[in-house]
Amino acid sequence: RMSRHAQQLRDHDINPCVVETDASRKCMDDNNYNKDMCTAYFLKYKSCRKFWHNIMMQRKRNGVKPEMPSAEERKKMLESME
């Protein structure tokens, strides 16, 4: 059984970067934990975290609840930016 923290990290409504997390982890597994081979994945993860952190802080300042948009809301936000 996963810890509560681990479950939250897997929850798309809580963690907007599950896909990037999984891709980084898979890259590390596939490349025998050679970090140099996975730089692009790490950068994608980092920019994902930064992007959603900024959205969260904005919502917090504006008193919007929940501070992290749901997976469905995030999808719509990203689509509207394309």
Quickly state the pLDDT bin for 5 (edges 50, 70, 90): confident
d(CA 53, CA 68): 8
69 CA to centre of own chain: 12
- Helices 18-30 and 39-61 pack at an angle, to 10 degrees, of 160
Q: What angle do CA 25, 33, 17 make, to 5 degrees?
A: 20
Q: pLDDT digits over 29-49, tens only? A: 999 999 999 999 999 999 999
Cβ atoms 66, 14 nearer than 8 A: no
Residues 6+ apart with CB under 8 A from 43: none
Residue 10 pLDDT greater than 90, yes or no: no
Residue 66, amino acid = P
pLDDT digit string (tens) for 52-79? 999 999 999 999 999 999 999 999 999 9
Q: Residue 26: is its pLDDT beyond 80?
A: yes
